[in-house]
Amino acid sequence: MRRAAILLLPLALLACRQEMAQQRRLATEGTSTLWPDGAAARAPPEGVVAQGALARGIQGAPARDIQGAPARDATMPPAVTPALLARGQERYGIFCAPCHGPAGDGDGMIPRRGFPRPPSYHEARLRAAPAAYFFQVISQGYGVMYSYAARVAPADRWAIIAYVRALQLAHSVPLAAVPDAREHLP
């Protein structure tokens, strides 16, 4: 009987988690008792500029880089290119369309489930609003809409705005501006 028990002993190995599988380090979203919020991950201190932020034009970066060349100003819109529009379309789909709807009418899925309905991008006031106003709304939020500063990087905000402009334009194109419109109608 005892011998048989010894044969079963290796089964206990199954329950082992070796030191190598759980190393003595903090996991990316692990816990730690060092800080009051219990999280191991830390937010960078106020005013920290990430490496390469100047070249990428991140908001809050100093106006000049180490060589003294003027850094790209993130609060200035970049040139509109097809690549920027494509990026904007993708980001708009992820972050804005759930509420503002795929065409910007303000009839996304979330308002349909009871969220306050956002205004349509096609109303005169928002058509006339400058791009910088949209930048401000995305960065700081507006009314019940939360800020997207933590989720949408400044470069992507401009891409989204370019796409919103394209939506606004597409909404008010006269038929004469689309010569082959008939071919696209059902």
Q: Which residues bind another protein (CB under 8 A)?
A: 7-8, 10-11, 14, 20-23, 25, 27-29, 31, 36-39, 93-95, 98, 109-110, 113-116, 144, 146, 150-151
Q: Which residue, 115 or 166, has its beta carbon nearer to ligand HEC?
A: 115
2 binds, among another protein, ligand HEC, none (CB under 5 to 8 A by kind): none
* Residue 166, amino acid: A
DSSP structure string for 63-80: SB-TTSPBPPPTTSPPPP
Considering all CA atoms of the chain, what is the largest pairwise distance in Å, rounded to the nearest integer?
A: 94
Q: For residues 149, 150, 151 and 156, what is the CA-based torsion angle, rounded to 10 degrees?
A: 50
Q: Which one, 74 or 160, has the nearer CB to ligand HEC?
A: 160
In terms of CB distance, is 49 or 166 closer to ligand HEC? 166
Residue 87's binding partner, choosing from ligand HEC, another protein, none, with beta-carbon cut-off 5 to 8 A by kind? none
Q: Which helix (H) or strand (E) holds 124?
A: helix 124-128
Interhelix angle for 154-171 vs 82-95, to 10°? 90
Q: Which does 160 bind (CB under 5 to 8 A by kind): another protein, ligand HEC, none?
A: ligand HEC
- Written in H, E and C, the secondary structure of 165-179 is HHHHHHHCCCHHHCC
- The CB-of-177 to another protein minimum distance in angstroms stands at 28
Q: Of the two residues 49 and 142, which places its CB atom closer to ligand HEC in the complex?
A: 142
Q: Select from another protein, ligand HEC, none the partner in contact with residue 150, using the beta carbon and a kind-dependent cut-off of 5 to 8 Å.
A: another protein
Please, which residue, 71 or 110, has the CB nearer to ligand HEC?
110
Residue 151: count other Cβ atoms within 10 Å of its Cβ: 12
